[in-house]
Structure 1
């Protein structure tokens, strides 16, 4: 009985060790808390001041852009129809081109290069947001070709959520349903979609808006 008891005890100890090892293997490590960014580390009052400052800057740059920069630039390129439209389109359409370049090179670019491309895209996006056609903007007289390019980029920025919805629906219908590929679009696919959208805005500004 003594030997049998010790044997059973060893078996129970061995089983307990296997169970403990299995638990340690299957237990997932706890997720590390995500570090707060600079804005999140600020106090509530500071965050409010930052938001107000950014809002005032956007509004101020909007008036500066439409009241001073666009009239001067339009006068400089207004006599060259194609160039004038492209220059006007660059303010909004160029942002989509910039994000297209970021997405296309996302998997191959070096980290430093990727950061520079993203910085350019974010700055360009900020300029595109300021293009919104307010009542003040609508009262500014610009050469027709230049105006068409600017407004193509401006309305293209406003219609971005609609464009994203159309692209998502098209991807779901064509790729997921028609071809049966259950996958998300790659970074390169997203990049070329951005380039195509920017090109479509340029074509729109060159044709429809000038009629």
Structure 2
């Protein structure tokens, strides 16, 4: 006969297994700061964005426009890069998200965030409207600026179309990183086409 197994010697009668406690999610750097520090950070970033806006429109864009304004195609692409390039950068980062090495993925995200910070400063204010730029370069710049403003609308429309597609096909699937990346690339390309054609009419 086989040996009858009993309760382990160290086990207590009626003892239940205690679930392992999970560690709470660690807050990011900003949330770990005190309220006063967070306020100073927000004020500092706001001041940098406003100052960067005047610097970009008052000095950088006119200088770049003067340098490339004589070549229509190059001029439009150069202007588009300031805003449309941010969407292209996010597209490249998303497409390579699953295949790139962690260090490469981190660098792509840094580039995308820096480019986004530049694009945000393209917001077409009254001061920006008063800056004189070559027509082709102006079209490229404003295609990126308006593309940034319209991006929430484009995102809302995209999510609506995706939800309708899932409903019609009876699927439950989220957009992959690669699909999101190609959408960003397509949107950036659409802005370039818009700046090269319709925006100048």
Question: What TM-score, normalized by structure 1, do the two folds share?
Answer: 0.86
Which residue of structure 1 lines up, in the alignment, with residue 98 of structure 2? 107
Q: Distance in 1 between matches of 2:130 and 2:46?
A: 22
Which residue of structure 1 lines up, in the alignment, with residue 10 of structure 2? none
Which residue of structure 1 lines up, in the alignment, with residue 46 of structure 2? 55
2:193 is aligned with 1:203: yes
2:91 is aligned with 1:95: no
2:151 is aligned with 1:155: no
Q: Larger Cα Rg: Structure 1 or Structure 2? A: 1
Q: Distance in 2 between matches of 1:51 and 1:133?
A: 22
2:69 is aligned with 1:78: yes
Q: How far apart are 1:105 and its partner, in Å? A: 0.6
SS of aligned partner of 1:91: helix
Q: Distance in 1 between matches of 2:164 and 2:32?
A: 43
Q: Distance in 2 between matches of 1:165 and 1:38?
A: 30
Q: Distance in 1 between matches of 2:42 and 2:58?
A: 24
Which residue of structure 2 lines up, in the alignment, with residue 140 of structure 1? 131
Q: How far apart are 1:20 and its partner, in Å? A: 3.1
Q: Distance in 2 between matches of 1:127 and 1:76?
A: 20
Equivalent of 1:33 in 9, 24, 32: 24
Question: 5+ residue gaps in structure 2?
Answer: 1-6, 8-12
Structure 2 matches for 1:9-24, cutoff 5 A? 20=16, 24=18
Q: Distance in 2 between matches of 1:186 and 1:47?
A: 34
Q: CA RMSD in A?
A: 1.7
Residue by residue, what CA displacement relative to the aligned partner does 1:67-86 show, whole Å, maximum 9, x if unpaired? 00111110111111111000
SS of aligned partner of 1:88: helix
2:173 is aligned with 1:183: yes
Q: Which has the higher helix share?
A: 1
How many residue pairs end up in the alignment? 191
Q: Distance in 2 between matches of 1:31 and 1:189?
A: 33
Which residue of structure 2 lines up, in the alignment, with residue 13 of structure 1? none
Q: How far apart are 1:169 and its partner, in Å? A: 0.9
2:127 is aligned with 1:131: no
Which residue of structure 2 lines up, in the alignment, with residue 193 of structure 1? 183
Which residue of structure 1 lines up, in the alignment, with residue 58 of structure 2? 67
Q: Distance in 2 between matches of 1:199 and 1:181?
A: 29
Question: What TM-score, normalized by structure 2, do the two folds share?
Answer: 0.90
